[in-house]
Structure 1
């Protein structure tokens, strides 16, 4: 299959790699969509705190905002995840170790090992096929949800988590700094909290115009 593989700074390669196979409690999907997160160009250009993390795990297939169609179920995966071949399925982008202090508390998003698809752990979704390994948190996606909508589940979840942590009240003035994808998702989620005032801050006029359209 074809995939985009990270080898290092300014070294992303579109190449042929083996199609993954499903082991015990693993799921292989045919990738339908995979987004380009803001961190992906930073990895390419070696900017920010993520590239040094990725450098420890190369070569690795990029992409952590993905959605796919189930094509293979390993032993026990059907029962564990209530999946059938042909279902739409997504995995949370962190694959927890399930052994550390935070995982034992149920705070798997703070896992000490912190394996992330396409960054520090399993291969990501910039490929024709990808595998959700054992230990992944996998969700069946409704059949009637289009792939171009479902691919936004991961960034929307990030935005929703941020808004929930803010504990917005009716009397609050809420300021969202940055009108990128996450910021615009946060805007829409925060709007549902009915704050007294909702402000979007961004230096780019086109983003502010879109923010106004979204509420």
Structure 2
């Protein structure tokens, strides 16, 4: 066992007791067992999926027999960064890390045994255990255990904690961009300029297509999209995005549409603004069912419709992008709260009327 701190007996942690019933509690600091790391949590981002889970509206597990919220008794929080303070030798060797180093963890804890894991498709793991949602406590706590099955990445200690924790949403954004198969002559449209959408804009720009277009209803977020690489921005509260994009493409429509809003209207918008044989990538978690005219996808346009889930294989690129300083993270990471104000953090994410973009909790 290797340790770099004087272990306290207790810690503060948020615990899920059901929809809209999260409580800050005093719990024992978890004991480190074979194959585990203990991290002192520096920052945890609050995601729209956290909010949907909090309200019991997110159908995360794809199974009607499972609850539509985080498992009761679990500490939420999956966009995390922390410093290793205690670990077994086996855990350090397995992850290739040292006590005292800062790490981020992928949100899924793959089983390693199911068909998907055996084929290297770990992000589609059958049991689909995830930090903060199912079977593994997340980072809305002062300390958190990292099991040997977790996927760990080193992050520079020079970054502000909230910036370092942005690696998780950015990796997700980059995976959605990878799914799109963007080429040099593409017109790419990103719907939504929240944390995920801004990462999609930056990722799409890095692919060097002909044009990157960002859509949102907030001028402030559209300004941020320009700083992340958008060539053109459209405020859909004032302009018809479908009409405008067809004007920009000689009437054909965009080549690629990446949806990052989670709003049902954005689905129809994307299908209508794409050209024939275009590509639609859906990333969002929806709080309700979405109905569209499937004949647009088939008979009318023969579209490629793809899903995107988590951020597999994109973490090194996301961390490199954050460490490079290319993103305006001081303007993206707008709000940080102490752990005891976790409810204010959730409420801030729910409030779409302000200029907040990325909300984080700093437990320590």
Structures share a fold, TM > 0.5? Answer: yes
Distance in 2, matches of 1:22 and 1:91, equals: 17
Distance in 1, matches of 2:19 and 2:86, equals: 33
C-alpha displacement of 1:206: 2.4
C-alpha displacement of 1:135: 1.0
2:193 corresponds to which residue? 179
C-alpha displacement of 1:143: 3.3
1:86 aligns with 2:100: yes
SS of match in other structure, 1:94: coil
The answer to whether the Cα contact below 8 Å between 1:23 and 1:75 also exists between their aligned partners in 2 is no
The answer to whether the Cα contact below 8 Å between 1:168 and 1:195 also exists between their aligned partners in 2 is yes
Cα offsets for 1:89-113 (capped at 9, x unmatched): 1211100000000000111000001
SS of match in other structure, 2:214: strand
After superposition, the Cα gap between the structure-2 partners of 1:53 and 1:28, relative to the gap in structure 1 and judged at 3 Å, is farther
1:28 corresponds to which residue? 38
C-alpha displacement of 1:147: 2.2
1:5 aligns with 2:20: no
The answer to whether the Cα contact below 8 Å between 2:32 and 2:145 also exists between their aligned partners in 1 is yes
C-alpha displacement of 1:196: 1.1
* Mapping of residues 120-135 of structure 1, within 5 Å: 120-135=134-149
Distance in 1, matches of 2:31 and 2:166, equals: 26
C-alpha displacement of 1:24: 1.4
1:60 corresponds to which residue? 74
**TM-score, normalising length: structure 2:** 0.56
Cα offsets for 1:147-205 (capped at 9, x unmatched): 23211111111011111111110110101111110000110111111111111112233
The answer to whether the Cα contact below 8 Å between 2:94 and 2:148 also exists between their aligned partners in 1 is no
2:318 corresponds to which residue? none
2:244 corresponds to which residue? none
Distance in 2, matches of 1:53 and 1:114, equals: 14
The answer to whether the Cα contact below 8 Å between 1:54 and 1:120 also exists between their aligned partners in 2 is no
C-alpha displacement of 1:82: 2.1
Distance in 1, matches of 2:222 and 2:156, equals: 32
Structure 1: which 5+ runs fail to align?
none
1:214 corresponds to which residue? 228
The answer to whether the Cα contact below 8 Å between 2:54 and 2:69 also exists between their aligned partners in 1 is no
Indicate the structure (1 or 2) with the bigger Cα radius of gyration: 2
Which region of structure 1 is more displaced relative to structure 2, 75-84 or 182-191? 75-84
2:184 corresponds to which residue? 170
1:152 corresponds to which residue? 166
Distance in 2, matches of 1:203 and 1:147, equals: 29
2:352 corresponds to which residue? none
CA RMSD of aligned residues (A): 1.5
Aligned length: 214
1:96 aligns with 2:110: yes
Distance in 1, matches of 2:124 and 2:157, equals: 31
Out of 41, 45, 50, the residue aligned to residue 55 of structure 2 is 45
C-alpha displacement of 1:4: 0.9
The answer to whether the Cα contact below 8 Å between 2:59 and 2:69 also exists between their aligned partners in 1 is no
Distance in 1, matches of 2:101 and 2:215, equals: 40
Distance in 1, matches of 2:95 and 2:228, equals: 35
Distance in 2, matches of 1:7 and 1:192, equals: 42
Which region of structure 1 is more displaced relative to structure 2, 76-85 or 179-188? 76-85
Which of 1 and 2 has higher RCO (CA within 8 Å, sep 6+)?
Answer: 1
The answer to whether the Cα contact below 8 Å between 2:55 and 2:69 also exists between their aligned partners in 1 is no
Cα offsets for 1:107-140 (capped at 9, x unmatched): 1000001101001120000000000112111122
SS of match in other structure, 2:98: coil
Cα offsets for 1:20-43 (capped at 9, x unmatched): 122111101000111101111212
